[in-house]
Amino acid sequence: MENLQLIQKIAHGSEAALREVYGVFGNIVFNTALSYLRDRAEAEEITQDVFLEVYQSAKTFEGKSSVRTWIYRITVNKCLDKLRYLKRKKRFALVKSLFKPDTTEIQHDAEDFEHPGITLERQEYAKILFKALKRLPPQQRTAYILSFIEELPRKEVAEVMQLSVKAVESLLQRAKINLRSTLEKYYPDRRI
């Protein structure tokens, strides 16, 4: 069955149709969330949120973009919201720890996140890249993740981000420059 028909069925409350959509896009959503959040538990939560949102807003889906683009857009927005929330929470926990030094609430970043889909010999490099990606501004990070990790064509990235293809190209260009300058700091000093 076509994705659009499935969305129409979901709009009428069909959970079977939602299961089918999950079958097609579940892994895509989970992997995108994993690239943003670098934490399996958080990625699982985002996947749940995304499919709940699909179920709730299927009625409002007008079909102007493809179902895949729509689901990607929901995922990206949920991930960015979550990152903002985690940042706020971390800041609050830090302030709280000044008054209560024995608090264990400070959130630690998943600095040593190992993506399960990467080969062992590239794992060390990938860890550094994920660490550097975290430092990019949200739009550049989104463009980079969708283009180079999710391997979407530029046109689709532009649709997901609701920008022009040129704007996406420019974001990618800046992302690469910023990544290179961030990597400068992580370069291991081999003279020692």
Is the CB of 5 or the CB of 48 nearer to other proteins? 48
Structure tokens at 151: 């391997």
Instruction: Show contacts with other proteins in window 19-58 (CB under 8 A).
Output: 19, 22, 26-31, 34, 40, 44, 47-48, 51-52, 55-56
Structure tokens at 164: 């022009």
Say if residues 117 and 31 touch (Cβ distance below 8 Å): yes
Shortest approach of other proteins to residue 87 CB, angstroms?
19
**6, 18, 71, 160: residue in contact with other proteins (rule CB under 8 A):** 18
Task: Tell me if 148 contacts other proteins by CB under 8 A.
Answer: yes
Say if residues 32 and 75 touch (Cβ distance below 8 Å): yes
Structure tokens at 70: 């729509």
DSSP code at position 163: S
Say if residues 117 and 128 touch (Cβ distance below 8 Å): no
- Residues at the contact surface with other proteins, assessed by CB under 8 A: 15, 18-19, 22, 26-31, 34, 40, 44, 47-48, 51-52, 55-56, 115-119, 122, 125-126, 128-129, 132, 148-149, 176, 179-180, 183-184, 186-187, 190
